[in-house]
Amino acid sequence: MNKSSGAFVNGAEAYGRFLEVFIDGHWWVVGDALENIGKTTKRLGANAYPHLYGGAGSAGLKGASPDASGYARPTKEVVSRFRD
């Protein structure tokens, strides 16, 4: 027997290893969550307030309106689409 430690010491070592992994894992998860929240907040802020983030123009969400973007122009009257 090279290492003669009792049950209490072995239990305390095991608990310490468990606690270290537990705390480290929680720091990892919380850090990732905060990073993602920060990136999302920045992206939403840049869309809502482009002039604060160096964007040009007054519209935050570009292309949201077909009239402004030039896409999705109707080729026929809306009423004629629903006729049999």
Q: Give the model confidence (pLDDT) of 10-28 as tens digits.
A: 889 999 999 999 999 899 9
- Does residue 2 sit within a domain? no
Residue range of the domain that includes 74 = 7-81
In a domain, 39, yes or no: yes
C-alpha Rg value of the chain to the nearest Å? 30
Give me the number of domains the chain comprises. 1
Residue whose C-alpha is closest to residue 50's, from 65, 64, 61, 63:
61
By the 10 Å C-beta count (0-12 exposed, 13-18 middle, 19+ buried), 15 is classed as: exposed
**Measuring CA to CA, which residue among 46, 43, 44 is closest to residue 55?**
46
pLDDT of residue 63: 52
Asked if the structure places residue 37 within a domain, the reply is: yes
> Does a structural domain hold residue 1?
no
Rounded to two decimals, the pTM is 0.44
Length of the chain: 84
